[in-house]
A and B are shown apart, each in its own frame.
Chain A
Amino acid sequence: MSAIDVVRPQRSAIERYRRSLWLLTVRDLRVRYSTSALGYFWSILDPLVMAGIYWFVFTQVFHRSVGNEPYIVFLLSALLPWMWFNGAVSDSTRAYIREAKLIRSTKIPRTIWVVRLVLSKGIEFIASIPVLALFAIVTGAALNWEAVYFLLAIVMQALLTVGVGLIVAPLVIFFRDLERATKLALRFLFYASPIIYGVTDLPKSLHVLASFNPLVGILSMYRAAFFPDQLDLLTIAIGGGVTLVILAVGILIFTRTERAVLKEI
């Protein structure tokens, strides 16, 4: 028995996970930008158009009684993170189906297929922050020290999105209807979360109930950078707890169904 001529050092599992995740994320972004002429612009065009519509409807047509001034900054500070959540969750319904061939031929840890979607959409979100800054400067919105919550919000949103993705991705394989149900749920969630309105606009009786939607706490933290009155620590604490529960459920569902999913695709 001859020895192997080249012995490659075995890298640690975490290191391999990180490298594979990064490769796939970069691939995602590269494919997206190499096949469309507008590239980066698309990731900001969508929230901009939506923000434009809401701004027009609420400040020009109706006489708005919700949200803070300047309303465009108020809108964008929640719309941009929402685009991240919305994009990653709706992509995760196809996480396995789109990559079936690759999943059948490589044995990298399967959670990567979900995490990379969250990461690539997250990078697009970060890349869209300058747009928010631009509008803040133009409208003269003041930045407060509460902007540090921005970082906590990003971490919490990443955990939440991964958790939801881990639940949705495997279940879609078995229940195809879930793909459309997810789209519907996302649309509902858009209006159920403080995006076009603020947490403080909710009736007092709904306040605690709304806190169980983790997006309420997360979006209020993003907004606190410009509108400190939106910050509500109880909401954030409850939302944080719910986020961890969703993540735990996601990990459980994902690991329990992994075997069946691999046979199915």
Chain B
Amino acid sequence: MADPVIRVQGAGIRFKRNRRSRRSFKDLFAGRKRRARANEFWALRDVSFDVRQGEAIGVVGRNGQGKSTLLKLVAEVILPDEGSVSVHGGVAPLIEITGGFVDDLTVRENVFLTAGLHGMTKAEITARFDEIIEFAEIGDFLDTPYKHLSSGMKVRIAFAVISRLEEPIILVDEVLAVGDKGFREKCYQRIEELLAGGRTLFFVSHNEKDLRRFCTRGLYLDKGALVLDSSIDDVLERYNTDYGI
């Protein structure tokens, strides 16, 4: 068996319940080991699992049960308070995909900037540039400042860039709920293409159909704990019995 590409061991993270709660200097510098205070809650706790290369994992759970937090931990944009998350290989995070785009720069400059920040060289971006633009169907707006694009176009170009990153791990967080039907189908086809290419997928969704379409394995999160780690069909079945529709 190959080494896992993602290894999550006893990971936990806590948040403040009340944003305005008093904060002292002591609080800020206290080590990560200190116990949770009354006004804090664990968004995730004791979550452990391994992911091997090429697996397609769907994360299932109700709202506020830690799905997106888990995805962010895997993307390493937040850090766990206990346990560890280690990710081998690059990650293409389809989370807040439009985040890196700058309003005042043109589409062309933005493509180079965002892809560059995710670790692509200029030559690699140039080689894929036409492909990205074609995918986003945005050819006429190359030199338009990003802020003048419609919201649909913004998401299209962002998806086109991130999905061409050629990273071995892809994280998808319900971004595809936006965009028209045709483009969504195109995005799905792109994800399938990437899966066929041996990529590892981490997928958060409420849509059962989508989950079954892409994923083979499921993680069921409830109240911040990993309740079930099994095949996607088992996980969905359990989820439906718990919160029957």
Q: Do A and B bind each other?
A: yes
Of the listed stretches A4-12, A64-72, A178-186, name the one at the interface; the rest are far from the partner chain.
A4-12
Tell me the minimal C-beta distance from B176 to chain A in angstroms. 16
* A residues whose Cβ falls under 8 Å from a Cβ of B: 1-6, 8, 10-11, 16, 19-20, 23-24, 27, 30-31, 34-35, 101-108, 174, 256-260, 262-263
* Cα separation A2 to B79 with both chains bound (whole Å): 31
B29: CB under 8 A from chain A? yes
* Cα separation A107 to B77 with both chains bound (whole Å): 5
The 9 closest A-B pairs by CB, nearest first: A101-B99, A105-B99, A107-B76, A105-B96, A2-B198, A1-B54, A4-B198, A5-B197, A23-B116
Of the listed stretches B100-108, B204-212, B225-233, name the one at the interface; the rest are far from the partner chain.
B100-108
B57: CB under 8 A from chain A? no
A1-B2, A6-B166, A20-B117 known; A106 and B102 CB under 8 Å? no
Interface centre among B15, B28, B54 (most CB of A within 10 A): B28
B168: CB under 8 A from chain A? yes
Of the listed stretches B87-95, B132-140, B183-191, B237-245, name the one at the interface; the rest are far from the partner chain.
B87-95
Q: B53's closest neighbor in chain A, by CB? A: A1
User: What 1/0 flags go to B112-125 for Cβ under 8 Å of A?
Assistant: 01001111000010
**9 more A-B contacts (CB under 8 A) besides A101-B98, A257-B29?**
A2-B196, A4-B197, A4-B199, A8-B90, A24-B117, A34-B105, A105-B77, A105-B93, A106-B99
CB pairs A–B below 8 angstroms (15 shown): A4-B199, A11-B119, A20-B116, A20-B117, A23-B113, A31-B104, A101-B96, A103-B77, A105-B100, A106-B99, A107-B91, A174-B23, A174-B28, A256-B29, A263-B16
Q: Are B116 and A259 neighbours in the complex by a CB distance under 8 Å?
A: no
A1-B53, A34-B105, A256-B28 known; A23 and B198 CB under 8 Å? no
* Cα separation A105 to B71 with both chains bound (whole Å): 11
Interface residues of B, count at CB 8 A: 44
Q: Which residues of chain B come closer than 8 Å to A262, judged between CB atoms?
A: 77-79
Q: Which residues of chain A come closer than 8 Å to B215, judged between CB atoms?
A: none
B46: CB under 8 A from chain A? no
Q: Which residues of chain A come closer than 8 Å to B197, judged between CB atoms?
A: 2, 4-6
* Cα separation A262 to B76 with both chains bound (whole Å): 10
Q: Once A and B bind, how many residue pairs between them come within 8 Å at the CB atom?
A: 96
A1-B198, A4-B198, A24-B117 known; A104 and B104 CB under 8 Å? no
Partner of B105, one of A3, A27, A106, A263: A27
A8-B90, A105-B93 known; A259 and B32 CB under 8 Å? yes
Q: B116's closest neighbor in chain A, by CB? A: A23
Tell me the minimal C-beta distance from B196 to chain A in angstroms. 8
Q: Which residues of chain A come closer than 8 Å to B75, judged between CB atoms?
A: 105, 107
Q: Which residues of chain B come closer than 8 Å to A102, judged between CB atoms?
A: 99-100, 117
* Cα separation A104 to B28 with both chains bound (whole Å): 20
Q: Which residues of chain A come closer than 8 Å to B105, judged between CB atoms?
A: 27, 30-31, 34
Partner of A19, one of B100, B116, B196: B116
Partner of A260, one of B28, B76, B96, B104: B28
Q: Which residues of chain A come closer than 8 Å to B102, judged between CB atoms?
A: 27, 31
* Cα separation A105 to B23 with both chains bound (whole Å): 26
Q: A262's closest neighbor in chain B, by CB? A: B78
A19-B116, A105-B77 known; A263 and B15 CB under 8 Å? yes
B81: CB under 8 A from chain A? yes
Partner of A104, one of B52, B90, B99: B99
Q: B23's closest neighbor in chain A, by CB? A: A174
Q: Which residues of chain B come closer than 8 Å to A10, judged between CB atoms?
A: 90
Q: Which residues of chain B come closer than 8 Å to A3, judged between CB atoms?
A: 198
Tell me the minimal C-beta distance from B190 to chain A in angstroms. 14
* Cα separation A34 to B146 with both chains bound (whole Å): 13
Q: B121's closest neighbor in chain A, by CB? A: A19
